[in-house]
C-alpha cells in the first residue's frame, strides 16, 4: 500500500472515530492487531460492543466505500471479534458489526456515513 493511501485510510479512521464518539459511542480499541488481522475500531454503545470496519475512498466512481466489504472480510471480522473478546475478557449481551464509509473528495467537505448492523 502506498504512503498516500495509508494516509487517506488513517485520516478516514480518525474521522470515523470522531463521528462515532460524537454519537455517544466510546472507543475501546483502535487498529487492534493480532496474527490473524486487524479491527479498525472496537467501541461500546451502551451495553453493546461494536466492531467497526472503516472504508475510506477519495471518489465514489466505483461505488460506495462499503462495497469493498466482501464476504471474505465479513468472515474475517467475525473471527477477529471472537478473538478480541477472548483476549480482552470483555463480554456483552450483544455485539454488532458496523461499517463507516468516509468519502474524502478532492474538493469539498468529507462525507461520513455510519451503517449500523451492516452484517
pLDDT confidence bin for 5, thresholds 50/70/90: confident
- Fold (topology level) of 3-115: Trna Endonuclease; Chain: A, domain 1 (3.40.1350)
The three state secondary structure string of 10-52 is HHHHHHHHHHHHHCCCEEEEEEEEECCEEEEEEEEECCEEEEE
Write the pLDDT tens digit of every residue in 39-61.
999 999 999 999 999 999 998 88
Q: pTM to 2 decimals?
A: 0.92
pLDDT tens digits along 67-106: 999 999 999 999 999 999 999 999 888 999 999 999 998 8
- Confidence (pLDDT) at 61: 84
Amino acid at each position: 500500500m502506498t504512503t498516500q493511501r495509508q494516509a487517506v485510510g488513517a485520516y478516514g479512521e480518525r474521522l470515523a472515530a470522531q463521528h462515532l464518539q460524537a454519537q455517544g459511542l466510546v472507543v475501546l480499541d483502535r487498529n487492534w492487531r493480532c496474527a490473524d488481522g486487524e479491527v479498525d475500531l472496537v467501541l461500546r454503545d451502551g451495553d453493546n460492543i461494536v466492531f467497526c470496519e472503516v472504508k475510506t475512498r477519495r471518489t465514489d466512481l466505483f461505488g460506495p466505500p462499503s462495497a469493498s466489504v466482501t464476504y471474505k472480510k465479513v468472515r474475517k471480522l467475525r473471527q477477529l471479534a471472537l478473538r478480541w473478546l477472548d483476549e480482552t475478557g470483555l463480554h456483552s449481551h450483544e455485539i454488532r458489526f458496523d461499517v463507516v464509509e468516509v468519502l474524502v473528495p478532492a474538493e469539498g467537505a468529507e462525507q461520513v456515513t455510519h451503517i449500523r448492523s451492516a452484517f
